[in-house]
Structure 1
């Protein structure tokens, strides 16, 4: 068997392997781009699409836009396994799992604390029958996610690799392949697997009903029916050449990672088909630690230094993965079964994946045109002519040639555009030779084309204006010229003008222009714009022989396919915004289903039949929300979309990071977003993946984002997240409740204060009133006492006066009685009449004396002054000349007595009272209109005002 095996290997070494000349798209990510460790040991993909890497510094996550590192303290991650939203990881003497926390961010939970007395590296994690198995160098840890318990089993051999095959756990060791009994975790050697001797098994791949065994130096084997069968054709290339370290398989593509030669790709259905990518052909370095095919069949490589991504079976393939050895591409042409490439270095013949410089065609090449059976190459150093029929080439040394064009009306002449005008070639003896310069055309004429009218040509002059010229019959001079003024419209001078269905069109910064022969003017080509991108800037437009339209707008190359008599509904964006040469874009159909695109790094081939892969739907997502002030993560992508994020008012300045899982997308991804409750419309398409909002008001907001095209048409799902900004504490519901309570309390306090104030005021008023009342009462009492006192004094004096008067009257009566007795006795004695008359006269005199005596007046005056506030004293001071009768009359008038009441008191008649009143008015000096009684009363009032103490006495 061994002889046959090595014989087959020897024979297969004689079979040439087909090397692909076009490369797959490769993207390299350096460790300073993803900000983690150099080495990446294992790769897995989440069901949502993002990629995870077991990195030296932790669990590394990539969603196509953002890189995030989830660290495990003091542990490098060697392996990982994803089940739903749980990510199991293993590393240096450590294993556990990450799950999203309440905001969606991954949180690590260790399981190592459930084990003891083991050490080593966890190299693989697998799942069988709802159990998770962590495989290390010499241990297998069986984890039950339901009970959160760990069962550990130790093995006597070193485990180099492992896999799940037919729902069983297989271990690769130097001694062979072992199968593990999942009940007791005991290992049993698989029969036939020990025939490799001491060869190290680098990887085990479960593939349907077979197990692929990848060895370090002997190549690949299939373990089936207890037999190891070598992969003869593959091993011819691999065996004893590359130390193999990792491997994976997707459909019929087998990827094998090496230690020193990058990645080797094989198609098992056609083992002769081989690809090898290493540091020379585009990888970061040559050591591939891990390989992984994602959901789209593209290959991820965990490198010893960085990460690489290879887009397999891509419709767009670069000629060179690294720096182009032939320089910048400008033009191309398939001629006589050979591909010719024009670059800034010269003309190259591309054959069997190798470019070869054509002798005599060095220098900048601007255009390649096939005219008749010949190939005319124009460049900075002149014109090179290739004739495949005669197998000859020759050169015309004319400096600065843009391109050569045939003339429909005269096949014996060719016109070529130069940096300073148009010149002519003439065929002489079967070859083209220089003829003459066209007079009257001294401007640069790049991109000139012939009109449908004979002798007429169009080009864009150095002022970026479209110019039409008509030449004479010999093409020697310009006989007519017209320049078309178009305001601010700008057109490029190189390959701007094209004919589409006999219609002359031009690309400009304001859209596509079309020439009208009726009006002899250019106007917007609405029909063409409607099937492309509308009215916008167009820098290049090319219609290939199949009527497909290739055009450049906003620096991106787009393709609109023409199929079955009509154009597709939507163009396909091929991107390349940083690869196309501005002003010198070029697309050439080299095959009915292949186009060559000139780019800064040479050329890119586009497979037309498969370009629809570029337009596959992409998924928009919201990566995270960060509070700017504290740089605090409050929302992470893993959280379900229905999650309503609650933020405080202090967190009202946020940054929303969003993106799209579109690693294989070729175009510049554009986004449109809006914030409901703040934005009325979706924003214009932008490529930025971050939006900041400052000082948001309280309320509920929903942030929405989608991938869109330049017109704002949605190309993806709408990702959204809802969040609520709480009001500031002073505007919260509790604050308003507090305000209400405080207001009620304030009203209550104010009410109490007002009530208390009123009460106090009432009390004070009451006290004041009581005090005033008390003072008044005291005053009244004092006045009453004083009045009583006065009355008592008056009455006492009056009583004394009355008593004196009574005594005086009694004495007088006694005297009158004595005189009457004497008179009676005299009458009885019949005394003499004269004596009787004397007694009678004496009696009358005595009575008169008592009736008008001064003593009675003095008593009356004293008592009246006591009662009426010193009336007589004041009257004497004011009018000292009054008589006693005048004073008595004044007293009666002061008491407001009338004449009838005064007359008997004064023992005079009423007439006498009136006469006395009249005399008194004269003595007092009163006028006729003055009232005598009011005057007398005013004396007392005036005295009281001038002498207030008088009343108090």
Structure 2
């Protein structure tokens, strides 16, 4: 049921554009035109967009336009009107070697300087001199060390210090600078050289006295082209004037010539009042013609200005256009857009077949140098609807279509298979195999040696957008939604006998398509490539290929080219790689396609000539020039032109940028405005940026402003790059810390910390000393107490001994007294001696007793006294 719904969906998807075409004309006769003209200014500003002068700044590539209402600045991404109350309108512009911008207009001329807000301010030099009433400055040139301003009546010379006024010999038309010489036409007389602030008549130039000269440009190193308004072009070899009888000169006579410039040594651009511009070679042959019908805003050209990127700015009566002349990619589309989105291309001889969502178209190709043109672009009858693929096998053209598969001939569009949705055709032995909305079908040669439908491969009926056949004969199929299948075919090649599903990997790896590189099956996921491991029967990362491809490992399509050459499509980038078994992949060429031209899927690329490729895009075709593969990358020029910092009711704008700069902390929110003047060569560019220290991923934008808020103090690196060039712009800046986190603050904090540490240490030492003294005192006190205690003990022991001794002596004396009174008498002398000794002992005992009591009293008194202390 689901397969039927998908079939119906694809059927009606192709049927709708077919019905649209059937309601209209089935035969288209619209020629394709180069889509090389980019419109600027028109409707971008509510101003009178007459552009009288165009100059590109030599240092930063910014483009300045002298318009009716003032000076307009273009940085590649946005326009800024530089206003001044002194200016009513501008007619001329010049930028000197130092980058100073001079302008001239109605009754004023001067220069511009940037202020602190990054805006240009006008300074009128003409205020220092009296200008003629209603004078307008039509031309400005740098002449060595002075600037020359020319009006119709007067020449003003400014030497950067003083201003002088020089009257012309007659009424002047325009001044021109060629080969470092200034030439001016004086009406009714001829040409004059302006040298050393004097006029010198050019011999034989009187032939132009009644002719208006609107441009003089170098023809070669020895001669000039004198371009008149309605009398054609003349050559001048500094000896004589000769008519330049060419088709370009003839065209300008009838279209009223107005402006010219030499694009390079062999190419010239001429602007007209009536019919746009033409580009010619040195022989005067018209190579290109652009007017309102193929891209210009209008047909009246007022000014031409060369771009440093190889293109041409065209100032018009309404706005300006840019014509890319040096791009590696040129775009082509039909004037009506009836071609639709192209899905397949096939070139047979000089006939180009284009398969689109509107049907099958064919056209005849012609080429003049590198300029491609189409003629007789027509819808193949009965081919209306979605065309998916075109292929030629053995000289026969087959077309895979929403309604089936068709054989394409010079006279017909004949169906050979009714199975709807012919997505892809591949050789399959001596047959062809095709993936369709409802499975696989095969084709074989019939008796007339033509391809005809053979059979379905029964057993598999899933939508098969892409298919590849590996060296073992397995068929690999990619399902638009489910992922990858591997199919085994029976010997008769009419049935599928085994289906190996890898649809689970659709969710985990997002495998979407199958391709083949050097006979090896490869799968894409949009992030990297995978391949099949036959030994382990598993899909594994293709590490070697991924490492070699760089960003192109994210390619969503691979297109085989020549032997060992493959195109890889990654978003709006295309790269041609040489991939062989013997060596690593090598990048051969790389291109950038504008986003608005890239189709959503299935890009077709075919060789157009030895040096060019044709590629399908959303609105038509693009031609890639093989000899200029990296031009867009080489010319990319991104730079920051202003940075606005703000915060806490304060703000500042920076206009100049060194390698690094600092910003105060109180203005830590920033808006960077960047420019890319080279974007005129690769419109629709996406830019990517990040601050390395903050962002983990790149941020994409199409706007020229980058904002960050409340950045913390520290060093930052802003990086910007574009799709057209992977080279990064890196701007380093620093958010300074607040004063209390500055280096001086940290130094003060360090000194204060050291002081506090010293005070703490000092206080600690004092406390330690006090504690030490207290401890010593306590130790001393304890020692004294211990001695007192010991002394007391000794005294107590002494007292005890004295008491015992006293008692013994008293007992002895008592016994002697008893002896005296005894009847047995001892010798009185003996008794007297003994008694005397005892008495003396008692007296001595009494003295010792008193002394001991005194010492005990003193000891106790000293103890209590110290205890009180």
2:496 equivalent among 475, 478, 490: 478
Whether 1:154 and 2:174 are equivalent positions in the alignment is no
Q: TM-score, normalised by structure 2?
A: 0.73
After TM superposition, the structure 1 = structure 2 runs for residues 887-906 of structure 1, keeping only pairs within 5 Å, are none
Preserved contact between residue 339 and residue 356 of structure 2 (Cα < 8 Å): yes
Residue 374 of structure 1: how far off its partner (Å): 1.0
Residue 44 of structure 1 is matched in structure 2 by 55
Residue 401 of structure 1 is matched in structure 2 by 421
Residue 111 of structure 1 is matched in structure 2 by 125
Residue 342 of structure 1: how far off its partner (Å): 1.2
Preserved contact between residue 404 and residue 422 of structure 2 (Cα < 8 Å): no
Residue 599 of structure 1 is matched in structure 2 by 617
Residue 765 of structure 1 is matched in structure 2 by none
2:662, 2:117 → 1: CA distance? Answer: 8
Whether 1:130 and 2:148 are equivalent positions in the alignment is no
Preserved contact between residue 156 and residue 164 of structure 2 (Cα < 8 Å): yes
Residue 539 of structure 1 is matched in structure 2 by 556
2:259 equivalent among 230, 246, 254: 246
Match of 1:623, SS? strand
1:346, 1:54 → 2: CA distance? Answer: 47
1:176, 1:345 → 2: CA distance? Answer: 62
Match of 2:539, SS? strand
Residue 140 of structure 1 is matched in structure 2 by 155
Residue 706 of structure 2 is matched in structure 1 by 691
Residue 7 of structure 1 is matched in structure 2 by none
Preserved contact between residue 333 and residue 590 of structure 1 (Cα < 8 Å): no
Task: String of CA shifts for 1:717-741, please: whole Å, max 9, x gaps.
Answer: 5345x5766858999999x99xx9x
Residue 707 of structure 1: how far off its partner (Å): 2.5
After TM superposition, the structure 1 = structure 2 runs for residues 458-473 of structure 1, keeping only pairs within 5 Å, are 458-473=476-491
1:65, 1:527 → 2: CA distance? Answer: 39
Residues 632 and 657 from structure 1, CA distance in 2 versus in 1: closer, same or farther, beyond 3 angstroms? Answer: farther
Residues 321 and 700 from structure 1, CA distance in 2 versus in 1: closer, same or farther, beyond 3 angstroms? Answer: farther
Residue 330 of structure 2 is matched in structure 1 by 317
Residue 387 of structure 2 is matched in structure 1 by 365
1:674, 1:701 → 2: CA distance? Answer: 10
After TM superposition, the structure 1 = structure 2 runs for residues 565-580 of structure 1, keeping only pairs within 5 Å, are 567-568=585-586, 572-580=590-598
2:127, 2:146 → 1: CA distance? Answer: 18
Residues 109 and 27 from structure 1, CA distance in 2 versus in 1: closer, same or farther, beyond 3 angstroms? Answer: same
After TM superposition, the structure 1 = structure 2 runs for residues 404-415 of structure 1, keeping only pairs within 5 Å, are 405-409=425-429, 411=430, 413-415=431-433
1:665, 1:631 → 2: CA distance? Answer: 40
Preserved contact between residue 709 and residue 715 of structure 1 (Cα < 8 Å): no
Unaligned runs of 5+ in 1: 1-19, 741-953
1:299 equivalent among 293, 302, 312: 312
1:78, 1:116 → 2: CA distance? Answer: 19
Residue 81 of structure 2 is matched in structure 1 by 69
More displaced 10-residue stretch of structure 1: 309-318 or 199-208: 199-208
Preserved contact between residue 552 and residue 569 of structure 2 (Cα < 8 Å): no
1:645, 1:302 → 2: CA distance? Answer: 41
Task: String of CA shifts for 1:520-541, please: whole Å, max 9, x gaps.
Answer: 2211111221122359643211
Residue 623 of structure 1: how far off its partner (Å): 1.6
Residue 375 of structure 1 is matched in structure 2 by 397
Residues 24 and 547 from structure 1, CA distance in 2 versus in 1: closer, same or farther, beyond 3 angstroms? Answer: farther
1:598, 1:299 → 2: CA distance? Answer: 26
Match of 1:28, SS? strand
After TM superposition, the structure 1 = structure 2 runs for residues 667-682 of structure 1, keeping only pairs within 5 Å, are 668-674=685-691, 679=693
After TM superposition, the structure 1 = structure 2 runs for residues 105-254 of structure 1, keeping only pairs within 5 Å, are 105-118=119-132, 119-145=134-160, 147=161, 149-155=162-168, 157-175=170-188, 177-183=190-196, 185=198, 187-196=199-208, 198-207=210-219, 208-235=221-248, 237-251=250-264, 252-254=266-268
Task: String of CA shifts for 1:879-907, please: whole Å, max 9, x gaps.
Answer: xxxxxxxxxxxxxxxxxxxxxxxxxxxxx
Match of 1:175, SS? coil
Residue 425 of structure 1 is matched in structure 2 by 443
Residue 439 of structure 1: how far off its partner (Å): 2.2
After TM superposition, the structure 1 = structure 2 runs for residues 754-769 of structure 1, keeping only pairs within 5 Å, are none
Unaligned runs of 5+ in 2: 1-30, 367-373, 752-869
Residues 253 and 538 from structure 1, CA distance in 2 versus in 1: closer, same or farther, beyond 3 angstroms? Answer: same
2:421, 2:407 → 1: CA distance? Answer: 13
Preserved contact between residue 111 and residue 122 of structure 2 (Cα < 8 Å): yes
Match of 1:280, SS? helix
2:639, 2:573 → 1: CA distance? Answer: 24
Residue 283 of structure 1: how far off its partner (Å): 2.2
1:453 equivalent among 442, 456, 472: 472
Match of 2:550, SS? coil
Preserved contact between residue 133 and residue 142 of structure 1 (Cα < 8 Å): yes
Q: TM-score, normalised by structure 1?
A: 0.67
Residues 422 and 82 from structure 1, CA distance in 2 versus in 1: closer, same or farther, beyond 3 angstroms? Answer: same
2:334, 2:213 → 1: CA distance? Answer: 32
Task: String of CA shifts for 1:522-573, please: whole Å, max 9, x gaps.
Answer: 1111122112235964321123114333223345444446799764458735
> Bigger radius of gyration, 1 or 2?
1
Task: String of CA shifts for 1:14-48, please: whole Å, max 9, x gaps.
Answer: xxxxxx97736332223444676512211111122
Residue 96 of structure 1: how far off its partner (Å): 0.3
Residue 903 of structure 1 is matched in structure 2 by none
Residue 693 of structure 1: how far off its partner (Å): 3.1
Residues 174 and 447 from structure 1, CA distance in 2 versus in 1: closer, same or farther, beyond 3 angstroms? Answer: farther
Residue 526 of structure 1 is matched in structure 2 by 543
Residues 729 and 105 from structure 1, CA distance in 2 versus in 1: closer, same or farther, beyond 3 angstroms? Answer: farther
Residue 674 of structure 2 is matched in structure 1 by 658
Residue 811 of structure 2 is matched in structure 1 by none
Residue 256 of structure 1: how far off its partner (Å): 0.8
Match of 1:486, SS? helix
Residues 25 and 492 from structure 1, CA distance in 2 versus in 1: closer, same or farther, beyond 3 angstroms? Answer: farther
Bigger RCO (CA 8 Å, 6+ sep): 2
Residue 387 of structure 1: how far off its partner (Å): 5.5
2:107 equivalent among 89, 93, 99: 93
Match of 2:138, SS? strand
2:514 equivalent among 478, 494, 497: 497
1:718 equivalent among 708, 730, 736: 730
1:609, 1:566 → 2: CA distance? Answer: 24
Residue 886 of structure 1 is matched in structure 2 by none
Residue 330 of structure 1 is matched in structure 2 by 343
Match of 2:627, SS? helix
Match of 1:641, SS? coil
2:355 equivalent among 342, 359, 368: 342
2:294, 2:620 → 1: CA distance? Answer: 14
Residues 654 and 278 from structure 1, CA distance in 2 versus in 1: closer, same or farther, beyond 3 angstroms? Answer: same
Residue 300 of structure 2 is matched in structure 1 by 287
1:223, 1:129 → 2: CA distance? Answer: 24
Residue 324 of structure 1: how far off its partner (Å): 3.5
Task: String of CA shifts for 1:113-154, please: whole Å, max 9, x gaps.
Answer: 122251322111011131111111222111120x2x221233
Preserved contact between residue 312 and residue 325 of structure 2 (Cα < 8 Å): yes
Task: String of CA shifts for 1:730-778, please: whole Å, max 9, x gaps.
Answer: 99999x99xx9xxxxxxxxxxxxxxxxxxxxxxxxxxxxxxxxxxxxxx
After TM superposition, the structure 1 = structure 2 runs for residues 697-846 of structure 1, keeping only pairs within 5 Å, are 704-707=718-721, 715-720=727-732, 722=733, 727=738
Task: String of CA shifts for 1:669-710, please: whole Å, max 9, x gaps.
Answer: 5444438xxx3678636346433233456x686654342779
Residues 406 and 728 from structure 1, CA distance in 2 versus in 1: closer, same or farther, beyond 3 angstroms? Answer: closer
1:28 equivalent among 17, 39, 43: 39
Residue 397 of structure 1: how far off its partner (Å): 6.1
Match of 1:448, SS? strand
Residue 514 of structure 1: how far off its partner (Å): 0.8
2:648, 2:253 → 1: CA distance? Answer: 57
Residues 733 and 424 from structure 1, CA distance in 2 versus in 1: closer, same or farther, beyond 3 angstroms? Answer: closer
Preserved contact between residue 172 and residue 203 of structure 1 (Cα < 8 Å): no
Residue 270 of structure 2 is matched in structure 1 by 256
Residue 486 of structure 1: how far off its partner (Å): 1.2
